[in-house]
Structure formats: C-alpha cells, structure tokens
Structure 1
Amino acid sequence: MDTEHTGANPELLLPRSRAANERLHALIPGGAHTYAKGDDQYPENLAPVISHGRGAHVWDIDGNRYVEYGSGLRSVSLGHAHPRVTEAVRRELDRGSNFVRPSVVELEAAKRFLATVPTAEMVKFAKNGSDATTAAVRLARAATGRPRVAVCADHPFFSVDDWFIGTTPMSAGIPESTNELTVAFPYGDLAATEELLTRYQGEVACLILEPATHTEPPPGYLAGLRELADRHGCVLVFDEMITGLRWSEAGAQGLYGVVPDLSTFGKALGNGFAVSALAGRRELMERGGLRHPGDRVFLLSTTHGAETHSLAAAMAVLTTYVEEGVTARLHALGERLAAGVRAAAAGMGVGDHVVVRGRASNLVFATLDEKGQPSQEYRTLFLRRLLAGGVLAPSFVVSSALSDADIDHTVEVAAQACAVYRKALDAGDPTPWLGGRPVKPVFRRLA
C-alpha cells in the first residue's frame, strides 16, 4: 500500500512497524542507533520504521508516505538521494574506498572545505560529531595545559564522550572525577561567563558552544566571548554541527563575522553520508600534525575518517550549496512554514501553546500546556495528529527538497492538529487524545 495522506487519519495503524520495532529492541539496545530516533520519542505504537526516502518524503514499511522534517537529525538538508550527491559517490564506488596511504580525494575535499569556510586554515575529517568536538577539547587542553572544559549550559548536546555526557542525567559509568572537570556557562551572559573564568582562573582550557540555536546571539555576544577567551587565555570553540551550512555556507562564523580558534562541522556536510570536520587556526591544528616541535597531540586518527565516498559526498554538498544558493532556499521554505503554522495555531486559538521557534532554516516547535509550561503530553497529542496526516516531524527543520505543496499540506495538517489541541486545552486534560503513554525526553536517568 502506498498511502498518500490528504488529511488527518486518527486510525493510522502501523502493524509492520510495530513488529519491526520489537525485533529492533531485541537486537539493538534502545532499538535505534541514536537515542533521538528511539520509539519512545513518538506516540505509543506510532513510531514508523522507514523503508526508503526520496527528496522530502519517506515511506515506512507499512506503505505510508510522509513529508519528513529534521531528516537524519538535521543531516539531510538537500533531501534524500540528491542526484548531485549520489552521482559524486557513484563515481568513486569502483575506485576503492580506503587505502594504506592518503587518497588525492582527501586533498581535494580539504581544499573545497577551506574555500567554503575561509575563516579556518586547516581541516581534518572524521565520521561523527563527537569525535570532532572531543578532538577540539583535547587540542585545547594540550595547547593551554589546563584541565577544565567550559560548556554552554543552554545547548543540549556536544558529544557522547565522558567530558560531556557526564553532565547529563545519563551519566552512569562515568567517574565523578571526570564530571568535575566540566563546568557550565549560560548562553548570552558575558558577565556570568567572565565570573566563571575568574573563579577558575588559569584552569579553563576552552569555551565550547553552538554559536546560535533557537535564538539569535545577542548583539555583541559572540565578539564578547572572543574577547573573553583571548583575555583569559582559553580556546574558543564553535560547535557548528547544526549551524554549519544552514546559517551560511561558511557557518555561523561566516554569518556573524566572529572567528573561533576551532570549529566543528557535520550533519549537513554529508547530506546523510558519514562525515564531520574539525577546522581551525593552523597554530593549533598543527599540534596534531608532524610539523611542530612540541608534544604530539593524538588529534584524530580513524580508520574510516577519510573514506573517499563520504568525502566525495561532502564536496558535492559544498558545491551544491554555493552554486544553487541552498541556504537562502532553506530560509525561504522555513519562513513560509513558520508563518503558516503560526497562523494555523492562532486561528485555532492555540497560538500561545503551539509555538514555532528558531532560525527559519532550523525551526523547532514547543508544545505548552494550560499554564504555558512545556508538556510531553501535549507534544504527544500534536505528533500523533501530524503522523496521522502524513507528516513526520519531530521538529520543523526543513530540507531544500520540500515543495510549496509539501509546506501547504503540512500547514493544513498542523491546523487539524491544533483543532484537537484546542479541545484538549478546553477539557483541561490531553489524556483522551494520547492513545497511550506520552513521549519521553531523551536525557533521563531511568529508561
């Protein structure tokens, strides 16, 4: 069955997906390879298992088609199976993928990346964001001789490694002595950050943060952080996993004009292929190389870090963004979607409860209860109605493959979801519309 939803279907059933989810849990801890993709993030019995995707659409194994948002945790920004990307990979398939010495593709990919992100002087590729951010932290510690890492407390995720995960509710297995070396500062508050650096004078190796998320940086904030890092002798690291390409081709640093010492890229860089990057000032990056006189830093050394297929994908993505103005298209699509959903929510009387936030290229939504507080129950209700209408949207993060018709359909389904939302608010209890247990936050101590 290839169901093309034209309206909400509250009787959406996913028997094959439900059976597959049971098998996934039996063989894979958590039933998925990323916690944010877990079936606990979706309404009970409505977690589709995907068969395939093309452009802005995916199909589940039950035959249902969805307009998809937040594809691959924001990684698939050009749409699934993008022709320029798949063709670039296809050209490399019969040429081998991994050799005992560097491939010329590594040189070409580095040149292409540094031409697109000219604020960086050197780059090293890896496979995931955690390896890149952890390499940045290690490099900062080596360069400064300091033990502590200062992370932005308002940003949800930096790495699977101990220095960060130890600060979350899922800290089991991480020694407290490791956790004590990570301290936190609030986003947008220079005075509080300076107080932290003064309290731990001479101990903080780096400040690491996403330069922007669902809010724009306050005027002068990033430049102020740059000045603070310089004055206190620590390394400024921008985690551009999300902002890279989506904010501008050169990332947030290119948009806001503040140059970090180190930055990390991923997600959109490969359009779903596994590739990430650590980039930055030559003086720092060379500490992980062979042309400096000091102690060597084990920066990034991964068997598959320079696998040629993913580097070919990255080069095609960078070229497509620059030549086709993809960032501008993402913003235009996001603005159309945000305006439509906000109007639909207001029209149904829930404009203060279903709230679309963020930069147009990186939209998220909040679901608030009768008291205006974030609610997992109301999120469950909203997700359930979106799914029934053929919209798979853990966020409203757009890809450039979306059409105006896709946006219009999403707004129509969102309006139907908001109508149910209003009924639940009026009743003072969303439970009758949940269909089971509420969705759960990713970071929690107990399963």
Structure 2
Amino acid sequence: MIAVPSAYRLLCMSTIKHGSSTTSRVPSFTTLLCISVLLRVALIKYSEWHDARSTVKYTDVDYRVFSDAAKSVYAPLEGAFAQGPWGSAFSIGDPYTRETYRYTPLLAFLVTPNHWLHPSFGKYLFAACDILNGFLIHRLLLSKILPRIYDTPKPELATVFSAAHLLNPLVFSISTRGSAESILATFVLGTLYTAMDGRWDWAAVMLGLSVHWKIYPFIYGVACVSVLSNAPTSASLPAQILSMFNWRSARFFGISVMSFLSLGAGCYLIWGYPFLYETYLYHLHRLDHRHNFSPFFYLIYLTYPDPARGIEAVSLWRAVLRSPLISFFPQMILTVLQGLLFARKIKDLPFAWLAQTIVFVVFNKVCTSQYFLWYTLFLPLVLPTLSATSGRQLFWLALWIGSQALWLGEAYQLEFLGGEVFRGVWARGLVYVGSHTWVLGQLIEGYNG
C-alpha cells in the first residue's frame, strides 16, 4: 500500500466516526447520478428556452453543424447522396454536403433523431455519455485504483472523485451546449477500463474505434504497448523500446489497426473520398489562423495565405514556418516519451494517459477550452495517487485557471472590441504554455502510483 495522500485526508474530513460505526456525509453514488442527470436535463431545457429568446445562443455552433449534417443523411436533397459505391446503391445521404462538417459520418448518423424525434436529441445523447463516463470512472476507482491504496473498500471516496467529473462545470456545460466530446470520452474510458481489466483484445478494438472517431487517441497506443512489453521498471529507455517488440504488443497493435481500418473501410464504401478527406486528410494540412491558446497561432497568423493575392510564390523559409510539421514533430516526440516513461505497469495507465494528453493539448497547433476535456477526464482517476499538500494542489488549480483567465482577458479585447492585440494574445499564450507545463511537472513529481 502507498501512503495516503493529503487529498484523501481532506476528503475523509467529511466522514464522522461514532465508535465502531461510520456515518458519511457523502451522498451515495446513486444520489450523485440522479443529481447529475437532473442538472443536465435542466440545462438542456434552459438552452431551448434561451435560444428561442436571445440572439446570443447557449447552444454551440457545432451542434448546428452536426444537426445539419444529420439532416443531409436522413433526408438528402436530390443529388446529395453518399459518394461511395454502397451509398449510391442504398441512397444514403452525404453529411459532407454541410460545409465545415469534418467528423466521422457515424456522428451525423447518431444524431439523425434530431429531425424525426426531437431537436435536442443529440444534447441528451451527449449528456447521457457524460453520465456513462461518470459510471465508468466510479467503477475504475472502486475496482482498480482505490484497492491499491486502502485495505478496506472506500465507496464514499469513489463517489467524491467521480463527482469531480459529473459535477464539473466544464464537462456538463460543454455537453449540454451540444458538443460531442463526451462520446469520444466514453470510447477512451472504455479502452482504459478493458485494458486495466486485462482484456487487451477488447481494449485494442476500443482504441481503434476511438481513433476512428478522432485521431488523437492513437497516442494512448504507445502507453499500452509499453505496458505489454513487461519491461522492468528499472530498464533503460532503449531497453524498454526493444522489449516492446513481442507477440502481445504485436497482437494489440494488429487488432487496433484492423479495428480502425474496418470502420474506415465501411465508411469509405458508403461515403467515399469526402469521408476520407474531411475526417482525416483535412486535419493534416489544416491552417487555423484564428486566435487560440496555442503558441503556434501567431506564427500561423503571420504566414497565413492572403486570398486577395491569389496563388503567391512562397519562399522556402516561409513554407517551413507555415508547415503543420513545425508543431507536429515536437508535439509527437514529447507525447511518445510521456507514454514510454510513465506506462511501465497497468496501474500507471491513467497517469500516463493524463501526461500524454496534457502535452498533446498544450503543444497542439490549435487549442481551445474544449480540448481541456481531453485530459481532465483522467483527473478523477489520478488524484487518489498524488502525494501533495492541499495548499500545493490549490496553487496548481489557481495557476491552471489563472493562466487561462489571463489569456481570455486579452482575447476578449481582440474578439469583441477589435483591438490590435495579437502579440498580447500570443504572449499570454506563452504564459499558458509555461504554467500548464509547470503544473504537469508538479503532477509528475507528486505522482505516487
């Protein structure tokens, strides 16, 4: 057993002991689930009321994109059919006729009930995935994480840490506004759950599904293969890499790739090249010059092609600076190293995935608040394994929030007041990178897995 972290001691202050019995002030997990469901239903109902009365919508613009794409699948206009051989044979609609829809067509298919059942069906679906994710987090805490720390079951602590997801304002606001991130989170948690349960074939299938849905979860495959290498904790990095070439790793890699390719092949046969381009290829050369947390945004902004000039001759240096590879290589090197360094045993997977995702998000060429969901998903699973005083943890949280608030204040000047503050936004983006990287370093130092 490892030493009980101070965070646990703080949480246990909500438990009052009377002789041999223990009376907890923490509500049951069932109560937490009911509160979480009611909260999300209330917000979805509010979004319908608010959107009908205000020009500034509660609903995210992405939800309208999903819904329009779903309509294109469900009731395609004449000639707007899927371009694959199976699509034309069965007269299936093409979601990519909706401009800016750049997701798997399966998402559009899932929200087609928006047009024959209820316009908010998609929001309810995303909110339901939120609840399912909270359930998976609770099961992982009870069955895999807390038993390594305590000799006796601690269901009240599992409930408290699950609440860090279910009652997280960032989580429930984004899903009820109509973002589909919670579906991907379900696939990722499903991958983690089956991996930590030792069902590696199913974990590989789930990883392939996750990567089909959105590309970035492929980074978790590095950590999984590292665990399957069975390298000793004391093994050097080169020795660990060499040990990864074994039958178990090859089997995991092969199944996950086949899962990904099978889904992709099915979608390609129905929707053809538009699926391949919009879902995957577009993101490889995408240049997004809009302001965002990324330190690369200002570089992209300065080198962004000017449509007024038409086709312009570009110098080699400018072409290099404009290339997505300028951000991709450092991002991938750091992300892979995190997976190799911290995933030595199955128990290390939640922390390794957290570290990998933080690095991936911080150094991505585009980063918005929505991307923070990708790594905050793992925090309830990692918090129990951190040894740090409550003061230090609060300082980490304050720095994490403060750096974002600093950036948002300057971004408001640019977005709503039209101020010439691009350099200010970029400088604050560097502060964001520095502070979030420092917090990651503190998490690594405090990890006591």
Q: As a proportion of its length, which structure holds more strand? A: 1
Q: Normalized per residue, which structure has more helix?
A: 2
Which protein, 1 or 2, shows the higher relative CO under an 8 Å CA cutoff with sep ≥ 6? 1
Structure 1 length-normalised TM: 0.25
If the length of structure 2 is used for normalisation, what is the TM-score? 0.25
